[in-house]
Amino acid sequence: MTTWITICDTCKRDGWDAETQPLTDGESFATLIETAAAGSEAVKTRRVSCLMGCVRSCNVAIQGSAKLNYTLGDFTPDAEAAQAVVDYATLHAESETGQVPYRQWPQAIKGHFVTRHPPLPDAE
């Protein structure tokens, strides 16, 4: 089952300067994540403008239908963090419930979890 990485492309970390940085930190992180996920059958990416986690910046949501979903933030937009997000999303895709055992988490995502959302109910 597909897991989506939803990437905030408007995130700006403290110190971001429009005069010296042509892209937001979120745009830079999105490009790195998209590159790391290229060719994956299990993981897809999409960009959105604002996940409303501005205090933490470089926010992503890991989402799958009928699974636990997660918001992560406070990343430095670099290749290591991007690969860790994709690696975690791949494990999420392989999990029936979306829960991934802590011992399997990539080191670079530890400490970046902000929220966990239960799956939506099938019926009202």
**What digits encode the pLDDT tens for the residues 30-52?**
999 999 999 999 999 999 999 99
pLDDT band at 14 (very low <50, low <70, confident <90, very high): confident
Question: Residue 23 and residue 7: Cα distance in Å, rounded?
Answer: 14
Question: Residue 121 and residue 124: Cα distance in Å, rounded?
Answer: 7
Question: Could you identify the residue written with the tokens 């937009």?
Answer: 77
Lowest mean pLDDT among 11-15, 41-45, 102-106: 11-15
> Count of CB atoms within 10 A of residue 102's CB?
7
Q: State the chain's mean pLDDT as an integer.
A: 94
Question: Could you identify the residue written with the tokens 């799956």?
Answer: 119
Cα 7 to chain centroid distance, Å, stands at 6
